[in-house]
Structure 1
Amino acid sequence: MALLWWEIFIVVFFVLAVLLPAAVIAFKPQWVFFSRGAKKSNAETINLVRTFMTHYSLPLGMDPLHRQLCLAFMDPFVKTVYSLFAILPDPWMVAICRAVDAFPGNTLRYILHAIIGRTHLIDHVVTEGIKRAGLGRCQWVLLGAGYDNRTYRMAPLRQAYQVATFEVDQEPLQQDKLRRLRKCAAVPPSAYEDVKYVTCNFNTERVQDVLLSANYQPGKRTIFLLEGVSMYLTKEGFAQTLAAIKELCPDDCTLTFDYVDERVINAYNGRTDIVDPPTPPLGSPRSVESTTLDEGMSDCEEGAMVVDKKTAASKKEEVASRASTPLTAEERRYGVQYCSVLERNQTPVTFGLDPSRLETQMAEHGYEIVQHWSPDELAQQFLKWPGGKESKHGGEIVSRACTYFYYCTVRPVRGSAV
């Protein structure tokens, strides 16, 4: 009889601790992630996803320090939900993440792995940019830093290369972040005390003003990041941010950001005057404007990523193909659900770009594209199982990424008066 009671206890515990939270996250993720009533819950959601990354095997996953940082920034309610999963072995955690993220009833389908892929993409861009710049020749600015822990994870790299680092965001969130950092015993103060925390509201304040007041050196080579921010800006706010970057560093900087396909925003707003571009006939030249590296960007002294011409041409064709393909009914539905969830959280998605016209849209602001990643390319490059062909899943894609997010690196056009 005692054995029977233990069996009942194990079954009940498994249902309450694992199956019930998993079902809630699969069907109603906004109940867990977006129910706190505060706008900072968006940053907390991204932080939770990054915590799940630590259960994946390296290099797809993250090291133990990453988990400690994520836990330090985690809301107590969200930490309770996470702790119910954290008792499971890592392979089980990964299996649950993959199943929940791919579940058709999930209103935020494939967004978890899109965030994982985006984290690796930006880590790669920053690491390569710092190394190519050289000792003491680079600044790093995170616009809308949120609970991003990249500056602390990369503290040895940026300190070795003497990179001046700035985190820009709203004051309450930054104060909360610093308070939690100081309580995290796993992170030495030297990893965050040299970072300059700059307060700013992107829609009402000039980024260049707040950065200059924090001793930013105008004209010095700079890596700018705008991760998970552009979709919450107004069109004017985005334009002002681009103008600010161009004013601060017109000749020697890059900006890496992600953006929402504006077609899903139009669908959510009921726009009928804008339709998907028709798919070109098979074999016909594509009229889509999408670009990666031009010949001038292949020089390391220009601070650009080096990509051979064959790879660049292949990337251009891949992004062009994806951008020119009309959204399916499923893609449109999930994109609309994403916009709906964010609006209910009082952080509406207000801005997007057209991936098929990105080159023209950036040129209007005096920028040119360095590299452009589609959702499929993100998965191909940054969402693969570790190991080679000799491993069970080595080289295979772990998951798709949600189809309404794109990613790019741009730089100001030299001599442009825009």
Structure 2
Amino acid sequence: MAATPIPGPHVDGDGLADIVAAGGLHNYQLKLHAEYGPVVLFRLPGAETAVSIADPVLLEATAKLDERPRKLFEFLASMQESGNLQTIPAQEHTPWRRVLLSVLAGRPSHEAHFGRFVTLTRELADEWADAAACGPIASQQSLSALSLRMICDYALGSGIGSPEQAGRIVAAFEDVLTEQLGRLYAAEAPGTYEEREDRAQRALTYLRATVDDVLATHRVGDGQPSEGSDLIAALAAAGHSPPRIRDSVLMTMLAAHHTTGVAVSWTLYLLALHPDAADRVAEELVRVLGDRPAPDYADLKHLTYLTTVLEESMRLYPPGPYGAREVTEDLRVGEYTIPAGATIFYPIWAVHTNPEYWPDPTVFRPERFATHPSPERPRLAYIPFGFGPRSCEGASLAMVEAKLILAVLAKRFRFEPADDHPVIPVERFVLWAADDIHLNLTQRRMLDT
């Protein structure tokens, strides 16, 4: 039986013009699936044959794929010396991933570091309380800086000294990714090519120097990682080379701060747009925490409505709006055959707004997750951290951090969107906001300190 041709647009060239016209790959995929259905053949730079799949049932056929397309992740290669960690072959990736999971996915170590997370979060809340008197808070970069400090304390055995330093690191990552993604998609950006290149190179130099400082101050000779949460020691114990350790630190800093900071910032934005939901979150926090300004680790499991709000937020604004895998041999997906060498795209935003599984898909409705996973939806209908052997290693840690940060901030403040400040999702490796998310804050109640 002959395979059915995969539908898609007729495109002259590499498809770049259509991607730019749509406002980025994340928007382009939404447009393609709305027009052509759940499986679409399209073109883009770096992938001669690209197939996007927005149906969670059909995605099951791809769940074991363990190779990423090299050309699409070349923009990260400049940060790494030991081979692009996003595209290393499966046989090399699997043991490296196992080390990351041993550090990032352990509940005992989450609990052991929770007190430090609380301290950092309450410090941020105090800073916001002081800054709110002067106008709106630029929440996204601030929250990303907080999550960067958390991951460095947790996984690397070394802290980032101050919020200002963390903010500079976040800004440096943004400069590098803006330039690299701009080249990939030929996006317009302010300044000359030389100015942008110089800015990106200075940012990368700063990031490498920062990682070198982390490695230099790391306690050498401890032997084994304490509490199972020292990534540097775990990588060294597994026999990884110094360049691989350095690259792993840099990629962990990049991925972890983006995931949590972005998820929390979009959630606060949605709560600002939906004050009834924000009030319900605050009521749950008062019921569970009483007069305490922050939860204990054991409290998180009782914050059920807050959790549904976070999950619905990541449905509407997934931190990573898409993923990609490479097909190493012909793969049957439903009625279609995807040829070896093709790139399969996981359009996470399109999956999360597929109307067949999400009625009124653009509406913010946390009650969708009152039962999760839902027997009414396929398991891959909700994939904010990806799935399969290349899914996010830090997913469970990110959820712990995000729920804690939301609990502290939503109990203390009411949020309102800043006037005359548009919020426009753009691609910065994750679903960033073009000019941050500005929020007005007011105190909910006086809390014991």
Q: Same fold (TM over 0.5)?
A: no
Structure 1 length-normalised TM = 0.28
Report which structure shows greater RCO (CA 8 Å, sep ≥6).
2
Return the structure number with greater helix share. Answer: 2
Structure 2 length-normalised TM = 0.26
